Structure 1
Amino acid sequence: MTYKHLTTRELTLIADFWCQGTKAYQAAKLLKRSSETIYRIYRFLDSGRTIEQYLSQYQHNKRRCGRKQTKLLPAEVEYIHSLIRRGWTPDTIIGRAERTISCSMRTLYRMFARGQYQFNVRHLPMKGKRHPNGYVERRGKAGHLGRSIYQRYQDFPHYQNEFGHFEADTVQGKAHHGAVMTLVERQSKVMIVLNVHRKTDEAVNQHLDQWLSKLPRHFVKSITFDNGKEFAGWRDIANKHDLHTYFAEVGAPNQRGLNENNNGILRRDGLSKKLDFRHLPDELVTQLMYRRNNIPRKSLNYRTPLEVFLSYVTDEQLSAFF
């Protein structure tokens, strides 16, 4: 039950009732307060002290009440810092439960928000900020390039629980110089990053074709793109590899939310907007991809994307992905 503290106005009225000789229980009914609360103030005034002294003491006691801040052990603080540097979130740290932490997930998030133990909310994937619900992408698009995303649910009735469906997008470098292509498998959340260097349909098709050629036919059931011009050559890929391709609605990145979220995290991990992607080393791309695929996720019951992905593929197939 939540307790409502006495206000200065209520204390003034109680002092007036005391001066007028009003019974404590009557004052309690008028103020809709507990009789014991009023009796306590009356006894204080009966002792010869003033209502100003009671207010001062009340405010002093009020500052001392409430739940005390949770404190973490030094070893726990260092452990949390080490995992945050590896890209984990407070949710993942608590949910994965590899080690006992002396607080809940929500408390740990609050520690980051107030900067306790030198935790920095800006080190978290979304830096403590998110787009509001109903956010619509305003950047220019090429128009709807191919089959609508809504057709996907007709072609694959069990799409939500079926392995092999990917979402795809590109991430650009500084001043639109260079790009990488990202693909995310929906069931395992595993991320594939292709170092395409240039944001053109020729470069995207070339690298996507090379990657798909290493995989068994029909292993990739579908790819859902956004409407960027770099995906204008989707027909060549779809026909050659016999896979279904779909496009989200123009200005609706939320329809590919998993891919968009991973792209934002990839930015924070190292592919910042200040970096020119035209001569990006393949080793760096591979390293970032490996890092992202080995961070536990709440949606996977705190398993890593790679752990889940391994349950769907053989060792021979795995070598083609990474």
Structure 2
Amino acid sequence: MYSHLSFMDKVKLEQLLLSKMFLKNNGEQNISAIAKCLNRHRSTILREIKRFKTTDEYSAYKSDKMYYKKRKKNNKRCKFTEEQINFIQIRFNKYHDSPSELIYRYFLKFGVKFPVCVKTLYKWIRLGFYGFLKQNLRHRGKKYKTKGKSDNRGKLTDFKSIWDIENKVSNVGWFEMDTVVGKEHLSSCLVLVEQSSRKYFAIKFENHTAMEVLVKFKEMVINNNLMGKMKGIITDRGKEFSKWREMEIFAETQVYFCDAGKPRQKPLIEKINGELRHWFPPGTDFNKVSQKRLDWVVNDVINEKLRPVLNWRTAKDVFIDNFR
């Protein structure tokens, strides 16, 4: 498979030309020998050298600069209407749609296929085409890496493990619960997600204590009309959930705990917490974030995302259908 000469390849070529190691008897450069030394085809090296009038004028730096200048000119832009450009800018820069979601929303809105594939759209975003901001990508466009830290928040005793769950026929009515901690552990959010619909709930609280979590849990259940809809809740072994019995009694449900240091046993909420962290990065002081702002991110952005796993429906719509 053909690949363009890299900058280092051009530097090596320049050094070989200057060294005059491969001169013929007539004083000309032996292009075939140079190509063999660089493990390239003779035609590739010849085309590269012909960018300049003579071999003595060849410069790796100038060649690379010319290459990127031509590449920039050759980037073909698709023609969008003003309405289409406004739509894709708002969906990506305001609501931070993923590229795949943006493509599908574009199809629903305008009834035509998006002109490029997901991979090319990622490239557009990284190059800043059409006003796309790279930092609006999930994880700011960087690859996500787990830290591999162990759970050292203390231990709970006398609780039900996720291995005690029996007769779970479907995910409808099953929730995962967690806390998203703010700056210096001085502020937090209690979060829930319903497994079948991916519907996400979040509420702020100031004191990271079991009593405060219980109070906010009750408030969340009442405000979102979840009474009688919760078959079970899966959470981790954080001490803030030590009043799990009171939660069970209030919501008429069962609370089950993951194994110690195994957050992947509740993968759904960990994933959607990442979507919340996109808007409120680690180190955010939730005391300075209003509940109204939090509600907008949760209800108008996260729960309004078109998800492939839901057959390109929103969590809000699926939740309503499941609990009619």
**With structure 2 as the length reference, what TM-score do the two structures score?**
0.70
Equivalent-residue separation in structure 2 for 1:280 and 1:211 (angstroms): 16
Contact 2:156-2:239 at 8 Å conserved across structures = no
Identity %: 23
Deviations 1:48-105 (A, max 9, x none): x854468899879866777942424363443222012023222210134334433222
The residue that corresponds to 1:273 in the other structure is 284
The residue that corresponds to 2:154 in the other structure is 142
Pair 1:11–1:301, CA change in 2 (3 A)? farther
Equivalent-residue separation in structure 2 for 1:27 and 1:105 (angstroms): 40
Structure 2: runs of 5+ lacking an equivalent: none
SS for the counterpart of 1:183 is strand
Partner of residue 69 from structure 1, selected from 72, 75, 86: 75
Q: Counterparts of 1:169-184 in structure 2 under 5 Å?
A: 169-184=178-193
The residue that corresponds to 1:89 in the other structure is 98
Name the amino acid aligned to 1:105: V
The residue that corresponds to 1:2 in the other structure is 2
Are 1:188 and 2:197 counterparts?
yes
Are 1:119 and 2:128 counterparts?
no
Partner of residue 237 from structure 1, selected from 232, 243, 247: 247
Name the amino acid aligned to 1:101: F
Contact 1:95-1:298 at 8 Å conserved across structures = no
Structure 1: runs of 5+ lacking an equivalent: 315-322
The residue that corresponds to 1:317 in the other structure is none
Q: How many Å apart are 1:123 and its aligned residue?
A: 2.3
Name the amino acid aligned to 1:2: Y
Partner of residue 86 from structure 2, selected from 69, 74, 78: 78
SS for the counterpart of 2:139 is coil
Higher relative contact order (CA 8 A, sep 6+): 1
Deviations 1:121-173 (A, max 9, x none): 2223422234425x323563122553333444xx2465xx5322211112344
Pair 1:244–1:24, CA change in 2 (3 A)? same
**Count of aligned pairs:** 301
Name the amino acid aligned to 1:119: F
Q: Counterparts of 1:243-282 in structure 2 under 5 Å?
A: 243-269=253-279, 273-276=284-287, 280-281=290-291
Pair 1:63–1:295, CA change in 2 (3 A)? closer
Equivalent-residue separation in structure 1 for 2:31 and 2:143 (angstroms): 52
